[in-house]
Structure 1
Amino acid sequence: MSSISFPHCGDADLVPSSSLRDSMQAQFYAPPGFDVSGSFQMNPLSAHPPRTPRPSTTQSHFGNTTTSVYDEKSEATEKGVAGDTADEDEEVDEEGERVAEAEKKVDRHEVWRDMLVTSGGRDKAFKLMQYSIRVYLLLHSKLLFRNSGGVWQQELARRLESARSGVSFTRKMLILLNWLTPLSTIMAQKAVPYSSGGSSTTPHGLADIPVGKPSPSFTGDLLSHPFLQALLAAPPPVLLDLVNGLSDDIYTLSRLGLVGPRVGARAARFADWCWLFGTLVGLVENGVEMSIVEGLQREVENRAYSESLEGATSKSRPKASKVDEKELGRLRRKNYWLQVTRAKLIMDFIFVSCDIFRFKRGKDTVQSIAGLGSAVLSFAKLYDKFKSVLVNKVLSNTE
C-alpha cells in the first residue's frame, strides 16, 4: 500500500501503512516535524488575542498569508478614545497653568490696596500694629531695658504706649455700627416658624383664636411683632454677633465721653462674655467642618489607593488621576485654613478668658502673645481671601 505524505515532512517522516497495523512496533503515531527556525506564531482565531494591536502573521501550509488581529474599525475607535483622553488631559493641564500664571500677575501691593480700602482690612492691619507694639513694650520693660532707667528709654516706652492706645481706639471706631451686618441677616429671614397660626409650634389654647382678633395678653402682642419673631428664629451665632456689636458700641461711646464710665465698663464686660461664647460656638463649627473635609479627603485618598491596587496608574487613567490630585489639593488647602482658623479661635479664647476670669499673674504677657498670634493668623486669612478674589478676576478677564 502506498504511504500517505503530510506537508512539511521529508522522506524520513514517511510512515508505512503496514507499521500502523502492528501495535507492538508503533504504539504512537509520530507527529509531523515542525520548522524550528521560524518565529513564534499565534493562532489568529484564538479567543485571547495579543494585548498590543499588532498584526499577527501566520504561514499556512499552502502559502504565506497575513491576518490582522484587530480590524480597522477597532483601531479607529481606540485612536478616537485616546484622542479624547488626551484632549481632556490637556484641558486639566491648561487650567492649572492658567491659575499659576494668574497668581504671578497678582502683585502684593494690589492685595494690600484692596485690603486697606475696607474697614475689615484696616482693622486687621491696625490689630497687627497694636499687638506688635504691645509685645515690644513687654520685651522692652522685662528683658531689654529691665535694669536701665535712662530718660530716652522711658520716653520711647511712653510714646509707644500712647501709640498703642491710639491704635486700639482707632480699631474701636472702625468697627462702630458693626452690628448692622447681623441685623441685616436677621431681617432678611423670610420664613419664620412662629408666623403661621396653624403650625405645630402654636399652643393648643391659642389655636382656636381668630387671626383678625387681638391676642388676649400683652405677651401675645409682643411676640407677634415681626422683629421679635425674627430674633427668635435667628441662629445663636448671629444673635451673639448682634449683642456683641451693640455692647462694643456702648463701650466706645463711653470712651468718647457720651456715656458714663460705669455703663461703659458693664458693656465691655458683657461684650467679653459674648465674645467668649461666640468663640466657643466658632470652635464647635470649625470642628464639624474639619471633620467633614477630612472625611472627603480620606475618601479621595482611598479611591486613589483602590485604583492603584486594581492596576490603574497615572498613565492608564490620566484624567481620573489628575482630577483626584486636584480635588485632593483643594481639600488639603481648605483643611489648612480651617486649622489656621482653629488656632486663631484658640488665641482669642485665651485672650478673653484672662479678662472674664480676672487673671492677675502673667495676664499682660499671655494677652500680648495671644493677641499677636491672633492678629497674624487673622491677617493671613484675610490676605489670602483678597488674593483669591484678584486671581479669579484675572482668570475671568483672560477668558
Structure 2
Amino acid sequence: MSSISFPSEHVSGRPSDSHDGQFYSSSFDASSSFHMNPLSSHPPRTPRTSVISNSSSQIYGASIYEEKVDITNDASKEDLELDEDEERVKEAEKRIRKEDVWREMFLTSYGRDKAFKLIQYSIRVFLVFHTNATTSRLLRRQMRPPWELELVKRLTSAASGLSFTRKMLLLFNWLQPLTAIMAQQTVPFSAEQSTESSKKTQRPFLHTVLYAPPPVLLELVNALADDVATFSKLGLLGKKVGERAGRFSDWCWFFATLVGLVENGVERQVMSSLQAEVEGRLYTESMSGATAKSKPSASKIDEKELSRLQKQDYWLQISRAKLVMDLIFVSYELFNIRRARDSVKAFTGLTAAVLCSAKFYDRQKNALLKSIISS
C-alpha cells in the first residue's frame, strides 16, 4: 500500500523555490505566517510594493516641481517687466505738462505754422458767422456801428497777414524731400556690392529723381512752386509767374492728397488685419481656458499690442479726415467752385488745422515721453 507523501515534509525548499520563482515576485516572503499551496490552480496574488509609493518620486518628484517653479519664475519676471514699463510710462506722463508740449511745438516752424493756421481760420469762421448774421432779416440793419466795421476790417487784415506769415514760415521746405532723394542716390544698387564699389558708382541725380517715390517727388515740386509764389508776393518775381506757380502748387497739392488717401486706405487695411489676428489669438486663449494666471505674459503682450494697433488706427482715421478736408479745400481753389465758397473753405481749413495740430501735439508728447523714460 503506497504511502501519501506531502511535499512540505520531504521537499522543504526546492519545489517551493521553483514555484515561488514562477508565481511570486522576489518581494514575497515565504517565511510569513500565512502559507498557500503553490500548486493550486488559483495562486494568490503576488504582494507588490505600492505603485503610488514607487511612482510618487517620479510623478510628484522634485524635477517636475523645479520645472514648474522655473516656468512661473520666468512668467513672473516678464509680468514684473511689463508692470514696471507701465508704471514708468505712467510716472513719465504725470511729469509732462501741456505747457511743455506747446513749447516744443512752437520751437519748430511747422508748429508755429499750425498755431497761426488755427488763429487764421478761427478768424475766418468768425467772419463767416458775422457776415451771415448781418445779412439775415432778423439782425440786418441799415447802419452798422463804426467799431463793428473797424473790427471786421482788422480781422480781415489779420487773417490775410497770418496767411502770408505762414507762407514765409514754409520757405525752403523743399530741403526735406530733397535730402530724402539725395540719400537714395548714395545707396548701392545691390546689397552684395562692397563699400568701395558703392562709393565709386553712384546713381545720377536725374535718375534718382525719376525713380523717387511719387509722394516725395510731389512734395518736392509742391514746395518749390510754393516758394516761387511766395517770392512773387514779396515782389522778387513777376505777378504772372507767381499766379502760375500758385496754380501749379495747388495741382500738386491735389494729387498729393489723393496719393495720401490711397496710402492711408492701404495702411488701414493692414492695421485691421493685424487687429483681427491679435483678437483671434486673444479669443483662442479665452476659449482654451487660459487665464491671466496660466498665461500672463502672452495675454498681456497681446493686449498691449492690440491697444497699440487701435491707437495707430485712430490716428490713421484722423489723418484720413484731415486729407479729406484738404481735398475739399483745394478742389474749391482748383475748380473755382462759387457756391458757399467762403464758408466751406473756412470750416474745412479750421477742421484740418485742429486735426493736424492734435496729431502734431501727440507726436511731440511721445517724443518728450521717450526722452524722460530714456533719461
Q: Deviations over 1:350-376 (max 9, x none)?
A: 000001111001011111110000000
Q: Deviations over 1:198-248 (max 9, x none)?
A: xxxxxxxxxxxxxxxxxxxxxxxxxx9922122112111111111111111
Q: Secondary structure of the residue that 2:292 maps to in structure 1?
A: coil
For 1:187 and 1:360, the matched residues in 2 are separated by 42
2:164 to 161, 169, 177: 169
2:147 paired residue number: 152
Relative to total residues, which structure has the larger helix share, 1 or 2? Answer: 2
2:254 paired residue number: 276
- Give the deviation of 1:75 after TM superposition: 2.4
Give runs of aligned pairs for residues 220-259 of structure 1, distance below 5 A: 226-259=204-237
Q: Deviations over 1:102-150 (max 9, x none)?
A: 1111111111111101111111111111111110111111126752422
RMSD after superposition: 2.4
1:94 to 79, 84, 99: 84
* Matched-pair contact (CA < 8 Å) for 1:182–1:241: yes
2:123 paired residue number: 133
For 2:309 and 2:134, the matched residues in 1 are separated by 44
Q: Provide the TM-score with structure 2 as the length reference.
A: 0.78
2:99 to 109, 129, 135: 109
Aligned length: 309
- Give the deviation of 1:88 after TM superposition: 1.4
Q: Secondary structure of the residue that 1:304 maps to in structure 2?
A: helix
Give runs of aligned pairs for residues 67-86 of structure 1, distance below 5 A: 70-86=60-76
- Give the deviation of 1:334 after TM superposition: 0.5
From the superposition, tell whether residues 182 and 68 of structure 1 become closer, same or farther in structure 2 (CA, over 3 Å).
Answer: closer
Q: Deviations over 1:21-43 (max 9, x none)?
A: xxxxxxxxxxxxxxxxxxxxxx9
1:21 paired residue number: none
2:338 to 357, 360, 370: 360
Instruction: Specify the code of the residue in structure 2 equivalent to 1:153.
Output: E
* Matched-pair contact (CA < 8 Å) for 1:293–1:335: yes
Give runs of aligned pairs for residues 1-399 of structure 1, distance below 5 A: 45=52, 70-143=60-133, 147-148=140-141, 149-190=144-185, 226-397=204-375
For 2:272 and 2:319, the matched residues in 1 are separated by 15
From the superposition, tell whether residues 73 and 261 of structure 1 become closer, same or farther in structure 2 (CA, over 3 Å).
Answer: same
From the superposition, tell whether residues 356 and 76 of structure 1 become closer, same or farther in structure 2 (CA, over 3 Å).
Answer: same
For 2:152 and 2:182, the matched residues in 1 are separated by 47
For 2:134 and 2:68, the matched residues in 1 are separated by 75
From the superposition, tell whether residues 171 and 45 of structure 1 become closer, same or farther in structure 2 (CA, over 3 Å).
Answer: same
Q: Deviations over 1:291-310 (max 9, x none)?
A: 11111111000011111121
Q: Secondary structure of the residue that 1:188 maps to in structure 2?
A: helix
1:31 paired residue number: none
From the superposition, tell whether residues 307 and 273 of structure 1 become closer, same or farther in structure 2 (CA, over 3 Å).
Answer: same
- Uncovered stretches (5+) of structure 2, i.e. residues with no partner: 1-49, 191-201
For 2:291 and 2:134, the matched residues in 1 are separated by 60
* Matched-pair contact (CA < 8 Å) for 2:186–2:203: no
- Give the deviation of 1:81 after TM superposition: 2.1
Q: Provide the TM-score with structure 1 as the length reference.
A: 0.73
2:10 paired residue number: none
